[in-house]
Amino acid sequence: MRFYQAGLERLDGAWAGKSSPGTEFLDPHHPYASDLDLFGVSSLFELLNTAQTQSGRATLAAWRGRGIYKATVAYRAGLAAGRGYGLLEVDASDDSRPILERLGFVPVTTTTPFVWSPATTGAG
């Protein structure tokens, strides 16, 4: 039951601080791993982690840096090309830029993300 509850919490955005943060896998020598929030409270690891054992958590951490993102983008680009699309847009952070450029993507612009919340909006 807890497994499914945790899944619902992830969907609702109420997952941070309720699972293993994976801090034992943080490489202190990696130049920007801490900036990317790969491990720690509210990290990508905590969001994705559904492992119930230390061995499972170690397996998830070991897949980091193994080319899954590159393979996924390349696969999806191939699907788009196979369906006749001549352009493919990816909205990604600067961290993904080297990978996307190696796949043939060309940066064309940048975006500025905005967040709106009714609780912070004045009545005016």
Residue 46 or 106, more confident = 106
The answer to whether residues 9 and 30 touch, using CB atoms and an 8 Å cutoff, is no
DSSP letter at 92 equals -
pLDDT digits (tens, 9 = 90+) for 67-107: 778 888 888 888 889 999 989 888 877 778 888 999 999 98
The answer to whether residues 26 and 20 touch, using CB atoms and an 8 Å cutoff, is no
Q: Is 45 exposed, middle or buried (0-12, 13-18, 19+ CB in 10 A)?
A: buried
Distances (CA, A) of 4 to 1, 13, 21, 50, 54: 5, 14, 19, 10, 19
pTM of structure: 0.45
3-state secondary structure of 77: helix
In the structure, what pLDDT confidence band is assigned to residue 35 with cuts at 50, 70 and 90? low
Domain ranges of the chain: 2-62, 67-124
